[in-house]
Structure 1
């Protein structure tokens, strides 16, 4: 008699039984926030497109940064 793979017992300490950690929610930005970008430097938020993107003025040069905002930090 063979056991099916679905009836196997998984130990709580098993490294294969762990769930992926939940990703933190994307940072919220508002118009007027001062920000720092790893590549473009210091800037100010001039527009917010929900949680998808922000528009930023980097000293006369504008950029649209998409979510997730991994290289963008609020000051």
Structure 2
């Protein structure tokens, strides 16, 4: 009788440890995937921000050219 209880206890402990280790590895895998997706989102946001800045810069250049054509602009030397 004691031998059966001991074997059952050992089997239960091994099963519990195996499930715990598997669960931890699965969780680590999920966290790594989540962090990688965050990096991808950051890269996409950075690309969008650079596109927006470039568009703003081009619009600013066009406005400056338009204003310089409409107004007489001369460089003045500091006095």
Query: TM-score higher than 0.5 here?
Result: no
More strand by share: 1
Q: Which structure's relative contact order is higher, taking Cα pairs within 8 Å and 6+ residues apart?
A: 1
Decide which structure has the larger Cα Rg and report it. 2
TM-score band, normalised by shorter chain: under 0.3
TM-score by length of 1: 0.22
Scaled by the length of structure 2, the TM-score of the pair is: 0.21
